[in-house]
Structure 1
Amino acid sequence: MSTTATRLRLATVDGAEVEIAPSHLVVAGYTGRDQEAVRHHIDELAAIGVPEPESIPAFYPLDVDRLTTAGEVEVSGSATSGEVEPVLIRANGTYYLTVGSDHTDREMETVGIQLSKAACPKPIASTVIELGDPPALVDWDAITVRSWVDGKLYQEGTLASMLPITQVLAEWDQIGGSADVALVLFGGTRPLIDGTFRYGRDWRMELQVPGRPTLELTYTVSVPDSARSN
């Protein structure tokens, strides 16, 4: 983990200012409820060279300096793409929910998933829903997420097919977490609408909790000229 202090200035949907200083960032993967389907997906990825995870769900701890609320992020290659995810923040004696993008280097993914995730910034929205401590009861299955790339719908649906992020957090705490640390947890994503990665420039993410204002995230990806693929 990075020892560099990372501070995020956020705001609740009610307008209150929030500042957090997370010490841990963890991205969870393979969080689908249908474990047979998850296993099938792992086998599909293994067939194209993506290493199998050590556990299901899988957990990828990253340096907290990967987190950003900036509207523009720089990546090191042209074959990168985002994925909409619920993000649970445990800090300041309470819990917050927001939306984030697990932006990932897809070429590097065949070398190692941990490396591919660490290669890209992890954008999150600057607006959060405060859940309290313990987290308020939320109908996770009713939450809807969507993502767009260059204006085209990329992902859409509810979180009903995924493990509730509070359950994912509980599994992480059993493996290597601690309730005493300030944590940002990405809770996994839905399948792509057409099953094909797109490497676009403009990304938009949305998370809707019934009865709450919609959480939105937008960001633009830039690639240095020296890193562009021919």
Structure 2
Amino acid sequence: MILNVSGSNEQLAISPERLIVAGYTARDEAAVAEHIAELEAIGVPRPAGVPAFYDLDPALLTTDGVIEVDGPSTSGEVEPVLVRHGGRYFLAVGSDHTDRDLERADIAASKAACPKPLGETVVEIGTGMSTLDWDSLTAVSSVDGWTYQKGAVATLRHPADLLERMAAAVGEISGDLVLFCGTMPLLRSEFTYGGYWRMHLELPAGTLLAHAYETKRRSL
């Protein structure tokens, strides 16, 4: 998979050793507990720990504009994504597309059932993430032209914090890594199963990391 570094002509040919999707990453622990209770009420099982870390197949990552899904009840969600390549860190935008029917039985399986779209353009944030102004970022997603999510990334745990917690949960990861850093609440408080998804991260100075994709049913 080829990613383009914003502000330069550099291209990254990435083949990450691990793909980790983090869930329940809000800084407000009371809000996380409330969200878990809401999901539990509609049949989504309670996670074993918070934040939760789902270790998925890196082959799920894609920059394609069309992804295939198994059923009608799937949906995306905008996430800031940390990419570590050759010891350097980059920020991207992605979507943790998930099978919501399967989620009621097995969260990890529901995430593994769908590709994980990733924007082709990334911003380098330094080996120690020192240039990442996390609290100034805004994340937005839409489905079929309707705004689905919009919120400040400051509500989520900083990726440096997530890396430490991830190591405690799944062990140290020394090689190349893609880490989905979590998302914000849905504006309508319910999943929408649309066909066209668009998401972006708004960075300071007007930089935009964006990606769009369509879903289609997988042929049997």
Residue 74 of structure 1 pairs with residue 91 of structure 2: no
Give 1:136 shift.
2.3
Residue identity opposite 1:150 in structure 2: D
Q: What are the within-5 Å matches in structure 2 for residues 1-230 of structure 1?
A: 8-14=1-7, 15-211=9-205, 213-224=207-218
Preserved contact between residue 20 and residue 92 of structure 1 (Cα < 8 Å): no
SS of the residue corresponding to residue 221 of structure 1 reads strand
Counterpart in the other structure of 1:4: none
Structure 1 gap ranges (5+)? 1-7
Tell me how far apart the structure 1 counterparts of residues 60 and 173 of structure 2 sit (CA, whole Å): 21
TM-score normalised to structure 1 length: 0.91
SS of the residue corresponding to residue 44 of structure 1 reads helix
Residues matched between the structures, number? 219
Preserved contact between residue 10 and residue 18 of structure 1 (Cα < 8 Å): yes
Preserved contact between residue 12 and residue 128 of structure 1 (Cα < 8 Å): yes
Residue identity opposite 2:190 in structure 1: T
Residue identity opposite 1:217 in structure 2: H
Tell me how far apart the structure 1 counterparts of residues 115 and 214 of structure 2 sit (CA, whole Å): 12
RMSD, matched Cα: 1.3
Of 158-167 and 113-122, more deviation after overlay is shown by: 158-167
SS of the residue corresponding to residue 204 of structure 2 reads coil
Give 1:175 shift.
2.3
Residue identity opposite 1:190 in structure 2: M
TM-score normalised to structure 2 length: 0.95
Tell me how far apart the structure 2 counterparts of residues 17 and 212 of structure 1 sit (CA, whole Å): 22
Preserved contact between residue 86 and residue 165 of structure 1 (Cα < 8 Å): no
Residue identity opposite 2:77 in structure 1: E
Give 1:225 shift.
6.1
Residue identity opposite 1:224 in structure 2: R
Give 1:48 shift.
2.0
Counterpart in the other structure of 1:3: none
Identity of aligned residues (%): 47
